[in-house]
Chains A and B, each alone.
Chain A
Amino acid sequence: MYIGVDLGSRTIKVAAWQDGRMVDQQLQESGFEPHEQAREMIKAYNPRYIVATGYGRHLAREHFANGVITEIKAHAMGIHTMLPEATTVVDIGGQDSKVITLNVKGQVTNFQMNDKCAAGTGRFLEIMATSLAYPLTDFGPAALASEEEIQINSMCTVFAESEVISLKNRGIPRQHIARAVHSSVADRIMTMLGRIGFGESIAFSGGVANNPCIVEMIRSRLENVEVNVPDNPSIIGALGASIEAARLGVQA
């Protein structure tokens, strides 16, 4: 079995690859010793080769992984397997966001990362959801249900939260504020896409791709472009790493 481990900022994902397909997957919130936690998660498999990706990949390699790839390559490989026609990958994770362009072989041709700032990342949505007293999984559907278009002006998560609080205090129904928050994230994603170009088929990966409002907003901001979300977008990085593990493990 070939294992991919994605040690992200908030969660650890594991994908197991065998006989040309993913046969198992796991996701857990990151604890204090992510490399130990990851090691525990993969104990039950009998790994031939382990590739780590994500924020904690070098830590994993120091402790148990055989190799590393960046989350850029991992998402490219994972998406290319699940959605081979994708020309661009948009990955919105817990603390960063990236856009990756691919060639027909699924190789990375270019990428843009925003990893300096929480704006436009899962963290932004999380903070706003708390501020508006929504469980995270309800946040997207609630925003989708609203039809009001209010603007959040602040780019910065901290200032945007202040803005949300003042909107609340003006008596604006929270689902409208929720929609404005989602619009803000969608706009940032569009800016990143604009800088790099995106072709005809965008694939959406990472935890935030589970949010139906963000997906819908991206779709509606683009014309003649497919926006696809694979089953279980959170696992794409780990999946890509497991495919790389299979590729390297066969040669090892």
Chain B
Amino acid sequence: MTEPAGAPRLEARGLVREFRGGAGVHGIDLDVLPGEVHALVGLNGAGKTTLLRLLLGMLRADHGEVRIDGVDVRSAGPGTWRRVGHVVEHPLAYAELTGRGNLAIAARLHGERRDDLDAAVDRVIDEFDLARYANVRASRLSLGNRQRLGLAAALLHEPSFVVLDEPTNALDPAGVILLRESLVRRAAAGAGILVSSHHLDEVARIAHRITVINDGRVIGGLDPAGVDLERAFFAQVHADAAGRVA
């Protein structure tokens, strides 16, 4: 596997966003390098989705800053966002449109030129094995196939920075393998990829770097090549919880 290197695709510094009751993100620094698959792992409610929303401008930070390819997201324009692909919580899959229809609008929204649109849609239908569902309305797709469609919609414009929130949710084993291969290929081509998960799933296992999040903070990392990652993960989470209680 090629080693990640170069100016970061993503730099987040001192990110804070706090909600009433104390939940949120309480000061997180994070980088994603070109060619890197960076996995964020944490239990439910650890702050992963809030962090991803902050990175993509879905939430405004109380403090701190986020840069994508060196551009502050608060002032990022179409040129920056054209290079980003994401699925955070709900995939772009409109019930009334067919699989192909959804991919076609995703291509338009991601800035694909009209001349290139059909080729991009055909390519990603092939990559994610969606031919059977190309002419089926999304409302008739299973949850897993809708997720697969949403992932294809997020990646069809070959983004150089990818953010996926628990992407293997509802995917069948074949879908997980397709996604894993897709991410490995994109990282090898220089994309920076940030993937969150509440468990050490198949995608976390292809990561170059695994960052552990708990209670809105980065509490450590895991060695992707290490053995018994689950034990190491829970040891960190329990130590963090015990430390805060003490």
The yes or no verdict on A and B being binding partners is no
